[in-house]
Every structure is written in structure tokens, then in C-alpha cells.
């Protein structure tokens, strides 16, 4: 990607990658300009604002490997989230990706009643400081953490790194492990839990289940290693071999040791079998789950990257709750 000049509106040019050879010009541009819809880009192409190898482009034109495709951005982005600064830490950054340490309580994407203060909006604010045009670069969320889970995430800046690292995630070539405080005194030292996880049968839209009546179950594998034992709480490391929604929380609850403070699957959660008694405490401010290690091969540079993050004070303080 390179700007052709610094006038307003600015123009940018991109080289067609092999895997995008033969696609329509608006679809190709939408890969590089992820805050624009194909419809908006098609409209700019139709208005004579795009070219291929310095020749004016026409609507529905297809582009091919090695060609230079340019566009003058006379329209603003139409998918741009409201950029907002937020509480997270950048551990690593290069032209292709960012590794961040997310705080508990922060939603990754705007959803439902959480339309502000999300991680995506905070990263968009950061990216907007790096470009001459607001919204030129859009954060690519490769994997997510639950709102009340803290820790490591990798976020991409452009489509090629997003595509390649997503393929690595799907193939299980990335290593993710979490630290958790779980209810009870765990007797085993190490255990591999292999239980399919599907949607909860009770009609809950976000809850998952490892029960036999779960809907659309998919194979899930977690390796659990005990780190520390306390009287009523155990600290464990959980390594994921699959990436099912709520996987650690569901697996640990299923073996009788739910994550401490879990708002859904814990002893005070929504799925408890008995109603809460008078005087019982509601769910804690966060659950005790922290993404502590992340290892993967850089999608462009092809070098191995390893990151670690210690649980924050609010995580450690959960074990001290009465």
C-alpha cells in the first residue's frame, strides 16, 4: 500500500496478491480497505476514481496477480467504528499485527448493550494515529476473549496477515494457554479433557454445554495442569487444542471445578441447578481466567513469536474473596 500524493482526497495503490487473482476490482479493494464496503468501492470505481496499471478501471473489471490497482478515496469509510482510547497494553507491534494484553471487563467488539469502550474501538483509535486518513486501516480480530477474561490477543492490521494467521489458528498451529483459579481442591496433577461442546439446549443464545443434549456439538480438547493447591481453590494452567466458545469454562465446570467467579457456569452462575439462597453472594466482578501465553509463527516474517502475561492484581485478589 502506498499513497500517490498527499492531496485531499488521497489516492492509494495496491499490488494484486496471487490468491486474489481474478476477483472483481471492488472485492479486491475491499480486502485492503476493510472499513469500506464493496458497494461503496464499486461506486467510486464507477465514478472513475480507480485504475489498473495506470489505465482507468471500469465497473465489474477483474484484476490479476501483479497488477497495480489504485483508487482515489473521494468517499469516507462506511464501516468505521467510533474510535475511542481504552485500557489495554500493546506488547508487540509491527506493520502487520499487534499483540495486546486486554483488561477484564472489556468487550472485544461492540455488541448488545456494549457499544462503547470496546477493544476494537480502542485499537481503531491507535491505528488512526498512524495513517493520513481516518479509518484507512481496520483492526482484524483473529480470536476473541470473553468480556471478563483478561490477557493476550493478536490483532492484525491488514488482510494478508489476517488470512494466514487465521489459517494457522484453524489448523491448531498456534499455542494458547490460560491460568485459572477454579473451585475446589483438584486431585489430579494433569488431565486432558476431551468433551464435545455445543450450544446450551435451554434456549440461551450465548451459553454452551458439554452435556449430551447440547445442540450442534463440536469436538473440544483442553489439557489441564495443576500449578498450586489451596484449601478451597486450585490454580491451574489450561492449554487449548481447539477454540470452542467458553471452552475452558465449560470443561472445568463439567469436571466439577468451575472457574472462580464464573457468571454462567460457576456455583452462583445462571446455570446453577438450585436457586440462590438468601445471603449468598452474586457473581464476582470478574472471573478468574487469564490468557497467559501465546505462541505463533509470524504470518509474513515466518519467525516464531512467544508472549507471556502475568495475571493482573484483580485476578490474584479473587482467591482472597471470602
Q: Which residues are known to be catalytic?
A: 146
DSSP string, 38-65: HHHHHHHHHTT-EEETTEEP-TT-B--T
State which H helix or E strand residue 141 sits in: strand 140-141
Q: Would you give the end-to-end CA distance of the chain in angstroms?
A: 55
Distance CA(99)–CA(177), nearest Å, equals: 15
CA distance 307 to 293: 6
Task: Of 255, 249, 240, 272, give the one whose Cα is nearest residue 172.
Answer: 240
Q: If 0-12 CB within 10 Å is exposed, 13-18 middle and 19+ buried, where does residue 2 land?
A: exposed
Burial 211-242 (b: 16+ CB within 10 A, else e): eeebeebeebbbebebeeeeeebbbbbbbbee
165, HSE (Cβ side, Cα atoms, 13 Å)? 31
Cell, residue 76: 469516507
Choose among 282, 243, 305, 247: nearest CA to 94.
Answer: 305
CA distance 141 to 177: 18
Amino acid at each position: 500500500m502506498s499513497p500517490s500524493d498527499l492531496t485531499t482526497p488521497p489516492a492509494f495503490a495496491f499490488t494484486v496478491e496471487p490468491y486474489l487473482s481474478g476477483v472483481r476490482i471492488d472485492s479486491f479493494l475491499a480486502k485492503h480497505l476493510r472499513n469500506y464496503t464493496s458497494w461503496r468501492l464499486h461506486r467510486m470505481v464507477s465514478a472513475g476514481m480507480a485504475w489498473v496499471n495506470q489505465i482507468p478501471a471500469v465497473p465489474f473489471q477483474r484484476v490479476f496477480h501483479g497488477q497495480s490497482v489504485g483508487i482515489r478515496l473521494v468517499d469516507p469509510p462506511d464501516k468505521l467504528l467510533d474510535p475511542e482510547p481504552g485500557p489495554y497494553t500493546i506488547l508487540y507491534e509491527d506493520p502487520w499485527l499487534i499483540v495486546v494484553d486486554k483488561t477484564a471487563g472489556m468487550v472485544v467488539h461492540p455488541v448488545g448493550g456494549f457499544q462503547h469502550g470496546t477493544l476494537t474501538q480502542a485499537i481503531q483509535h491507535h491505528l488512526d494515529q498512524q495513517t493520513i486518513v481516518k479509518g484507512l486501516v481496520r483492526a482484524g480480530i483473529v480470536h476473541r476473549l470473553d468480556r471478563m477474561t483478561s490477557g493476550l490477543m493478536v490483532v492484525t492490521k491488514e488482510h494478508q496477515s489476517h488470512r494466514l494467521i487465521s489459517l494457522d489458528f484453524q489448523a491448531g498451529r498456534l499455542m494458547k494457554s490460560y491460568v485459572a483459579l477454579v473451585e475446589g481442591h483438584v486431585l489430579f496433577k494433569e488431565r486432558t479433557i476431551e468433551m464435545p461442546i455445543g450450544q446450551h439446549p435451554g434456549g440461551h443464545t450465548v451459553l454452551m454445554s458439554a452435556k449430551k443434549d447440547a445442540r450442534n456439538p463440536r469436538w473440544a480438547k483442553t489439557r489441564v495442569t495443576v500449578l498450586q493447591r489451596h484449601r478451597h481453590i486450585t490454580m491451574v494452567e489450561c492449554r487449548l487444542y481447539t477454540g470452542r466458545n467458553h471452552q475452558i469454562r465449560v470443561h472445568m465446570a463439567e469436571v466439577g471445578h468451575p472457574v472462580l467467579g464464573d457468571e454462567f457456569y460457576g456455583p452462583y452462575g445462571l446455570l446453577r441447578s438450585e436457586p440462590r439462597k438468601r445471603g449468598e453472594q452474586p457473581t464476582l466482578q470478574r472471573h478468574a481466567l487469564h490468557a497467559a501465553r501465546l505462541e505463533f509463527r509470524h504470518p509474513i516474517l515466518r519467525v516464531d513469536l512467544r508472549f507471556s502475561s502475568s495475571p493482573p492484581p484483580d485476578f490474584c485478589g479473587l482467591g482472597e474473596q471470602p
